[in-house]
């Protein structure tokens, strides 16, 4: 029996005297008589009765929605990127950060190949993300083995050894190290569509391995012995992932009909004269030549370098997280969070919101979609059938519904853990006010074409300033001062439980 248990059991019979000692005053205890009076008073209010009837029958968001303001938001944008035809779908998995990053690159590869649509394999990315996370986890377990098992860092590591969630930098490191492949080369599986069962057993395996490694350190095993055990453990992880996701391709044959303006090696393109295009019958007068790009035995890394041409050094990760402990013009990183051992660590430049808005707008004007992250659950009537895709500050009147004050500024919400980056998506367009500030953003989501508004969200400028907090843009879309800060400021590492880390981590 612990001391805490002894205290609780010994004092449990003291009643109000114990409560008085615990709370400082017996007045802290709830009074049944006062509760009875509140129940009687509640029903006397017509507003309370209407609100109760509405919420108990249709839930909070439906009862709080304001259709008058919702219908004022339209999905027309004077600045918009030509997006691929299809909308991606992460299903029941936490891969939004990977989808968002690859969705920005879909725009680039469609332009390079002169095609209307293309989708990368998210299963391929997930395989190596889980593999890298497991390897990083085991390394962190060895590094923290001298700490007690209930140390804050150790408990945080053990909480979720190989989660789905992540950041832009994680995806960038995976793309540069492992490359990418088209979706048909490694399609989705049951475990990518719903990762819960795979994650359950993968995390159990890693926690068991953590116990073995911590015991080995306590026994005084050498670093060479620890790393050999780690290598053997990673073989088990690799087997689990192959069973759940399928074996990742080492090489593949790439074949695609490309446009006449495709920026590819002409020697790899064959022209089929008189071939039918979509909707045309073979041999008709309207049939046009089809240009077929073929590559045999290409590796995922070669495919990335040749047709995606992604370079993480071309991008800057901007966040806007105000607060006394989160000063602007500061580059931050988070301990224990990086997933690809040996790759560049995650770093974010904290700046005022207008810097993020200007950079994202410049990117969209130049035809480049950009990664963004926000707290998507805030004031989002996702399942409202007639207005399913609007994120705005004036469309959900929860304060009026409950007759309470819910107002908090952005800094307070981060301090009190009310808000953080919960979802990553892609900016595809923007509507600007007369003064050049964003009135609304067009946001490509990764919940499939039937979610939100044909797969897209309408996000007001005010909503993003309050609940948004991250964009990743190319270097050329930053002003000189911001770019200098990014290039010269050192990384200030913080703990995962610090306020700044809680704000920027996509959960």
What are the catalytic residues? 96, 423, 445
CA distance 249 to 256: 18
In the numeric block, the tokens 């891969």 are attached to 95
| Residue 118 in tokens | 């293309």
Give burial (CB, 10 Å; 0-12/13-18/19+) of 306. Answer: middle
CA gap 186, 183 in Å, rounded: 6
DSSP E strands, 299-437: 315-319, 330-334, 348-350, 370-374, 390-391, 423-432
Q: Is 390 exposed, middle or buried (0-12, 13-18, 19+ CB in 10 A)?
A: buried
Of 103, 169, 107, nearest in space to 136 by CA: 169
Residue 327 structure tokens:
């000063």
Radius of gyration of the chain (CA): 27
Structure tokens at 232: 């053997």
CA dist 90 and 446 (Å) reads 6
Q: At what angle do helices 196-218 and 223-245 cross, to 10 degrees?
A: 170
| Residue 362 in tokens | 């410049």
115: nearest Cα among 275, 251, 270, 278: 278
* Residue 109 · residue 118 · CB < 8 Å: yes
Other Cβ atoms closer than 10 A to 497: 12
């Amino acid at each position: 029996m612990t001391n805490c248990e002894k205290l609780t059991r010994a004092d449990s019979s003291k009643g109000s005297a114990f409560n008085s000692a615990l709370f400082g005053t017996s007045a802290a205890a709830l009074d049944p008589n006062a509760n009875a009076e509140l129940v009687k008073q509640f029903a006397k209010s017509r507003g309370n009765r209407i609100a109760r009837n509405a919420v108990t029958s249709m839930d909070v968001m439906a009862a709080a929605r304001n259709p008058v303001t919702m219908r004022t938001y339209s999905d027309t944008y004077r600045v918009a990127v030509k997006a691929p035809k299809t909308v991606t779908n992460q299903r029941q998995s936490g891969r939004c950060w990977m989808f968002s990053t690859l969705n920005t690159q879909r725009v680039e590869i469609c332009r390079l190949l002169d095609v209307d649509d293309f989708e990368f394999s998210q299963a391929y990315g997930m395989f190596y993300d889980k593999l890298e996370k497991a390897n990083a986890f085991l390394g962190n377990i060895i590094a923290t083995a001298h700490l007690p098992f209930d140390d804050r860092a150790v408990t945080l590591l053990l909480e979720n050894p190989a989660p789905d969630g992540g950041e832009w930098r994680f995806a960038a490191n995976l793309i540069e190290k492992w490359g990418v492949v088209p979706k048909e080369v490694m399609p989705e599986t049951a475990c990518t569509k719903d990762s819960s069962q795979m994650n359950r057993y993968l995390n159990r395996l890693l926690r068991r391995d953590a116990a073995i490694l911590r015991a080995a350190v306590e026994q005084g095993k050498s670093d060479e012995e620890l790393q050999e055990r780690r290598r053997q453990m990673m073989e088990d992880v690799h087997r689990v992932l192959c069973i759940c996701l399928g074996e990742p391709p080492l090489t593949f044959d790439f074949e695609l009909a490309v446009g006449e303006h495709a920026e590819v090696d002409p020697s790899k393109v064959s022209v089929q004269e008189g071939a039918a295009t979509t909707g045309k019958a073979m041999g008709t007068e309207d049939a046009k030549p089809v240009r077929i790009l073929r590559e045999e035995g290409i590796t995922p890394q070669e495919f990335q370098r040749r047709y995606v041409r992604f370079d993480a050094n071309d991008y800057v990760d901007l966040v806007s997280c105000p607060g006394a402990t989160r000063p602007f013009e500061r580059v931050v990183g988070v301990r224990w969070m990086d997933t690809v051992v040996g790759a560049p660590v995650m770093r974010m430049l904290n700046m005022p919101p207008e810097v993020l808005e200007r950079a994202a707008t410049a990117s969209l004007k130049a035809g480049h979609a950009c990664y963004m992250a926000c707290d998507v659950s805030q004031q989002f009537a996702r399942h409202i059938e007639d207005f399913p895709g609007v994120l705005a500050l004036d469309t959900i009147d929860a304060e009026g519904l409950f007759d309470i004050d819910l107002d908090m500024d952005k800094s307070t919400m981060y301090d009190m853990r009310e808000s953080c980056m919960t979802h990553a998506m892609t900016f595809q367009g923007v509507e600007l006010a007369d003064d050049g500030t964003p009135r609304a953003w067009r946001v490509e989501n990764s919940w499939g074409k039937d979610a939100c508004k044909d797969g897209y969200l309408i996000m007001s400028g005010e909503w993003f300033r309050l609940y948004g907090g991250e964009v990743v843009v190319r270097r050329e879309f930053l002003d000189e001062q911001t770019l200098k800060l990014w290039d010269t400021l050192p990384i200030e590492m913080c703990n995962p439980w610090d306020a700044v880390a809680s704000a920027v981590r996509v959960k």
